[in-house]
Amino acid sequence: MHDFANKTALITGASRGIGAAIAEALAQRGCHLILTCERSMDALTALSVRLSATYEVPVTPVRCDAGDAEQVAALFDAHVHRLDILINNAGRSVTGLIQDLTPEAWDALMRTNLSSCFYTSRLAIPKFLAGGGGAIVNISSVWGDVGAAAEAAYSATKGGVAAFTRALGKELAPSRIPVNALACGFIDTAMNAEYNDAEREAIRAEIPADRFGTPEEAAAAVVRLLEMPDYLTGQVIRLDGGWI
């Protein structure tokens, strides 16, 4: 997919961070956008207005909990009439010992980080087939590959995203619909703002690149994945500065 002009992309969790950077990168290339978030509608609306004015492309902001099957179905019924690109970016993190995590918090994390990929993909695929093609990129984490202490639940969700990506890539390969994932390391976003200065310095010291990644770098990697031949599918690509 080398020509993004007039293509339509759905990006979940797009109000800030990686999702917002991906939205800007695709708008810059002429892509029409449908952007969702669960809570931060003021930020999402402001982003949508700015991108539409700056790049002269249609941008539709929608409040939608990507981890709620009924809300995702309503999103598709009302706003997704054609679709070329699906970016499953919605996510949240939970830090703490597994014995301190409630079943309710576990379920909420699973819905947002993993079930959301299923809810959107199952409805996007018929749109792709009707339109002659499409592509899916799931935003994952290096912890889905190796796990992280005090982040067992989060790691489990991202491990699920990796397995889902590999399996769905095989399933859709005959239809030439690539499915890939970007497994991010420490990207300097609001999600990682919970770390104090000492913790951030300790993490940075572990990263061979000697710095954190930026949302813009993650967005550039997503664009590159979308530009690759559809023979690249079912892959989980790390963006981590050599960390893992």
Tens-digit pLDDT profile for residues 35-49: 999 999 999 999 999
Q: What is the pLDDT of residues 223-239, one digit of tens each?
A: 999 999 999 999 999 99
pLDDT over 80 at 191, yes or no: no
- Known active-site residue 154: yes
DSSP 137: E
In a domain, residue 148? The reply is: yes
In a domain, residue 60? The reply is: yes
pLDDT over 80 at 71, yes or no: yes
Count CA within 13 A, CB hemisphere, residue 166: 10
Structurally, the chain folds into a number of domains equal to: 1
Band the pLDDT of 165: cuts 50, 70, 90: very high
One of 55, 119, 154, 195 is an active-site residue; which one? 154
Looking at every residue in the chain, the average pLDDT score rounds to 96
In a domain, residue 84? The reply is: yes
Q: Is the pTM of this model over 0.95?
A: yes
CATH number of 70's domain = 3.40.50.720
Is the distance from CB of 178 to CB of 138 less than 8 angstroms?
A: no
pLDDT over 80 at 160, yes or no: yes
Q: Taking Cα atoms as reference points, which of 236, 224, 179 lies closest to residue 22?
A: 224
pLDDT over 90 at 178, yes or no: yes
In a domain, residue 22? The reply is: yes
| Alpha helices by DSSP H, 11-68 | 17-28, 41-55
Burial of 234 (0-12, 13-18, 19+ CB in 10 A): middle
In a domain, residue 27? The reply is: yes
Domain span at residue 154 reads 8-236
pLDDT over 80 at 2, yes or no: no
Is the distance from CB of 180 to CB of 169 less than 8 angstroms?
A: yes
In a domain, residue 2? The reply is: no
Tracing tokens 């050599």 back to the chain, one arrives at 242
Q: What is the mean pLDDT of residues 82-89?
A: 98
N-term to C-term CA, the chain: 30
User: In this predicted structure, what is the pLDDT of residue 193?
Assistant: 76
User: In this predicted structure, what is the pLDDT of residue 132?
Assistant: 95
DSSP 141: E
User: In this predicted structure, what is the pLDDT of residue 228?
Assistant: 97
User: In this predicted structure, what is the pLDDT of residue 19?
Assistant: 98
DSSP β-bridge partners for residue 11: 35, 87
In a domain, residue 224? The reply is: yes
Q: What is the mean pLDDT of residues 181-205?
A: 91
In a domain, residue 3? The reply is: no
Q: What is the pLDDT of residues 120-153, one digit of tens each?
A: 999 999 999 999 999 999 999 999 999 999 999 9
